[in-house]
Chain A
Amino acid sequence: MSTELQALDVAVEVDARGTACPGPLLDAKRAIGDCPVGGVMCVMSSDEGTIIDIQRWSKKMKHEYVGDYEDDGYWRVFMKKNG
């Protein structure tokens, strides 16, 4: 899965590494406005909880969770903006 995710064209990258909850979620909320509809946003977080946070949050906000993978001590969580 990670090779497919790495190949994705990421429209917005949010580096929330080194911040603890609720940091990554708030950073994602702030950044989603800059993401074009249909674009992919990648949230980088050192908090594993961010994965499930983004899964639930993106679903509730009518976006789409795409996938995640672990990369050198942190996680990359991908979601697609649906408008």
Chain B
Amino acid sequence: MSEETMNQEETIKSLLARVETLEENAPNDSLCLGVMDGDYDKTMAAFIIALGAAAYDMEVDMFFTFWGLAALRDPKKKAKKDFLGKMFGAMLPKKASKLPLSKMQMMGMGPPMIQAVMKMHKAKSLDELMKDAGEFGIRIHVCTMAMDVMGMKKEEMIDYPHIDYVGVGAFVGMFQEAKQCWFM
């Protein structure tokens, strides 16, 4: 075998190894969203973006933490809580449709007004968006640390087809491999 051929073979081998490493490290066609804000309008925006990404066949992971958890509560479900947990439970919105607006909350008049305007324009409510998200395989990951701090329990969370309970390690693992990660 000539020296030139051997060099070319070496070069090809090393190039293939590098391409393999690049492929392994290339981002997946996925979107990560950190949802912490807990406002109705911002949570809506998170789900609309998630759904738009799902329409492009992107994988979507939504990580809910702190005030964002209120959107995942089901008021029809009961959970045993200690005193502080009960206090938090009473003070936090009981379900997604009861989240406050980030602006024009107007001491509670804001949400029903915006929901009426949305209905006039046939915009989907947060509940409807969350139902669509389930249909499109959008995954919801619940921060267990925030749940513990606020005394929230798994038993009171909504029935959502793709929900699991994780820590920040999982979230970092997800966004390391994702194309985009945003926090709202």
Contacts and interface: CB of A to CB of B under 8 A. Distances in A.
Interface residues of A, number: 13
A33 to B, nearest CB: 12
Contacts of B77: none
A22 B51 contact: yes
B48 interface: yes
A28 B55 contact: yes
Interface residues on B, range: 10 to 19
Contacts of A20: 121-124
A42 to B, nearest CB: 17
Contacts of A18: 122
A25 B129 CA distance: 13
B7 to A, nearest CB: 39
A16 B121 CA distance: 13
B51 A19 contact: no
Contacts of A29: 54-55, 136
Interface string A40-53: 00000000000000
